[in-house]
Structure 1
């Protein structure tokens, strides 16, 4: 019976920890456009919650992209602007030079 209690306790800790990590991701929809931009500029790269089941990574410049990726303007839904230019998105360029 002790091992079952131990398993339940460990499972509870995992659920608790996963909830804390999810809560730590800032919700873009609750921020103003300016607040979100400043957060990206200050941190270089931020993963924001963008909807009930979605998230997106925004970067301040190409230095935060992988080799071969380019940085493109990325809009996001903020409290005061549904199409705020929050930062940049790293992705493969359509055509390589």
Structure 2
């Protein structure tokens, strides 16, 4: 194989491994959704074709400038299933001037 062909194959493999599937929360029961988050620790959950977010097993997965917030997602059996934690930007404005 030529160097170019090898590079293309390795690039395709790396891209596939880096891509993470979006899990449609509406197709899983709440228990199955929570089990999936527990198993994979970080997942991308989609509640519709265009609305999705990254959810973590624990709030410690957030960056220093972020804080963990409960992630409630619609599941097949529960309208607002607690799935794990999402990270949100910390508010640096304390409201005092």
TM tier, smaller: 0.5 to 0.7
1:82 aligns to 2:93 (yes or no): no
Equivalent residues in 2 for 1:1-97, closer than 5 Å: 24-94=21-91
Give unpaired runs (5+ residues) of structure 1: 1-20
Alpha-carbon distance in 1 for matches of 2:27, 2:60? 27
Alpha-carbon distance in 1 for matches of 2:33, 2:88? 20
Alpha-carbon distance in 2 for matches of 1:35, 1:28? 9
CA RMSD of aligned residues (A): 2.5
Give unpaired runs (5+ residues) of structure 2: 1-18
C-alpha displacement of 1:79: 0.3
Tell me the secondary structure at the aligned position of residue 80 of structure 1. coil
Looking at secondary structure, tell me which structure has more strand per residue: 2
C-alpha displacement of 1:25: 2.0
Normalising to structure 2: TM-score of the pair?
A: 0.67
Normalising to structure 1: TM-score of the pair?
A: 0.67
Looking at secondary structure, tell me which structure has more helix per residue: 1
How many residues of Structure 1 are paired with residues of Structure 2 in the alignment? 78
C-alpha displacement of 1:37: 0.7
